[in-house]
A and B are shown apart, each in its own frame.
Chain A
Amino acid sequence: MFAFLSSQPVQTALIVGSCAALISALIGVFTVLRGNAFAGHALADVSSAGGAASFLWGISPLLGFLGMAWIAAFGMEFLGVRKARERDLATGIVLGAGLGLSALFLYLDVTTTSTTGAAVSVMFGSLFAISQGLIWPAILAVLAVFLLVGLFYRPLILTAVDPDLATLRGVSPRWMGLLQLLVLGLAVAVCALAIGAVLATALLIGPAGAAIRLSRRPAQAIFWAMLVALTAVWLGIWMAYESYYWFSGNAWPVSFFVVALIFLFYLLAMFGSSWHQKYQRRSIASLRRLQEP
Chain B
Amino acid sequence: MERLEYEFDGGAPVAPRNRPTLTGVLGSGNLEVLVEPADLGGRVRVEVQTAAVGFGAIWQAVLSDVFARWQVGDIRVSINDAGATPAVVALRLDQALSDHTGGGA
Is chain B found bound to chain A in the same assembly? no
Residues of chain B whose beta carbon lies under 8 Å from any beta carbon of chain A: none
Residues of chain A whose beta carbon lies under 8 Å from any beta carbon of chain B: none
